[in-house]
Chains A and B, each alone.
Chain A
Amino acid sequence: MSAPVSDHPPERLSDYLNGDLDPRAVEAVEAHLAACAECTLALAEMRRVAAWARSTPPPGHDPDLWPAVERSIRRDTPRRGPRAHSPPPSTQARGEAWRPRSAPAFLAAAVALLLLGGGAGLGVAAGARFAGAALGSPEVLDLRAMAGVLTVLVVLVPVAGITARIALRPFVDAFVRLRKDPSTEESLRLVERRLLLLEREVEGMQDEQGRLQQRLEGMEFQRRLQGD
């Protein structure tokens, strides 16, 4: 049984006519043509159109029409320069872009953690001193030192936390990926299948839209001709 006509859109027949298809595609089109009268007729008519165009004198020979067509083409053709296309950064490029930012962040986290450790040590020492002083001689209380240590801790703890979070995030992400739950993988597979089905539905809608577009273009084309 032959494939449906929708499998051989006009582009396919046109490319076949131009000799632009690879041997396998040619074989497929010819197999279809052998069983599809509609496509065979369309191909014959397209061939006649192309042959007529080849036999048509180049633009300029007709004093009336071709110059008008040429002018129309020039008027409608957008003046475009080379596309300033900037491709999205590759994964590798993104990775390389990540390193310069994360390396200082990691260093900063290490420094902050050292400071935090030092601050905590000072705090512990001051606390011990405060306790000893409270138990022993109250007159040696150094509240100013305590306040200084607490201030340092209040500043350093959030800074160290944020910096460590930024620096360690890639490692945490990698760990999460390694420990990925099998049920999550199953869910992902289901989502991927649903996406595939949705894509097929969209392709079907696009095919239908293409057919409607062709009919609309044909009607518009006839309307223009009749308006001449």
Chain B
Amino acid sequence: AGTLAGASADLPARGDGADLRLDLERAVAALPGGARDVFVLYDVEGFSHGEIAATLGMGESTSRSQLARARMLLRHHLSG
């Protein structure tokens, strides 16, 4: 959906292991409903904001703000 250029350089090291992945997945599950839906559809599944808006019955701007909410909430789980 997006460009995300240069993002791979910021990926957690492989050595972080399954614990980090599981921790993040639990964090995704704990997100507020709207933010979680949009995050999974956009960042994981690769849908566009237009497609998400049509699927979830919301405006594209809402989809964008929900994605930002999810990313802001999740970011601390990768910074530790």
Q: Enumerate chain A interface residues (CB-CB to B < 8 A).
A: 9-11, 13-15, 17-20, 42, 44-56, 58-59, 62, 65-66, 68-69, 72-73, 76-78, 80, 83, 214, 217-218, 220-221, 224-225, 228
**CB <8 Å contact, A19 and B29:** no
B17 at the interface (CB under 8 A from A): no
| Min C-beta distance of B40 to chain A, whole Å | 6
**CB <8 Å contact, A13 and B68:** yes
Question: A-facing mask of B11-22, CB < 8 A → 1, else 0?
Answer: 110000000011
Q: Enumerate chain B interface residues (CB-CB to A < 8 A).
A: 1-8, 10-12, 21-22, 24-33, 35-37, 39-40, 43-46, 49, 55-57, 64-65, 67-69, 71-79
Give the residues in chain B near A76, CB-CB below 8 Å: 33, 37
CA distance A217 to B32 in the complex (A): 8
CA distance A18 to B1 in the complex (A): 8
CA distance A218 to B21 in the complex (A): 20
Output the nearest chain A residue to B24 by Cβ-Cβ distance: A52
Give the residues in chain B near A47, CB-CB below 8 Å: 4, 6-7, 10
**CB <8 Å contact, A66 and B25:** yes
Give the residues in chain A near B39, CB-CB below 8 Å: 53
Counted as pairs of residues, one from A and one from B, with CB atoms less than 8 Å apart, the total is 138
CA distance A88 to B77 in the complex (A): 47
**CB <8 Å contact, B30 and A69:** no
Q: A13-B68, A56-B21, A76-B37 are in contact. Are A50 and B7 (CB under 8 A)?
A: yes
Best-buried of A19, A20, A47, A78 by chain B (most CB within 10 Å): A47
| Min C-beta distance of B8 to chain A, whole Å | 6
Give the residues in chain B near A80, CB-CB below 8 Å: 57
A-B contact pairs, 19 of them (CB 8 A): A9-B68, A15-B68, A18-B3, A45-B75, A45-B76, A47-B6, A48-B12, A49-B77, A51-B8, A51-B10, A54-B7, A54-B44, A56-B24, A69-B40, A73-B40, A77-B37, A214-B72, A225-B26, A228-B30
Give the residues in chain B near A56, CB-CB below 8 Å: 21, 24-25, 44
Pick from A14, A58, A77: contact of B44, CB below 8 A: A58
Output the nearest chain B residue to A13 by Cβ-Cβ distance: B68
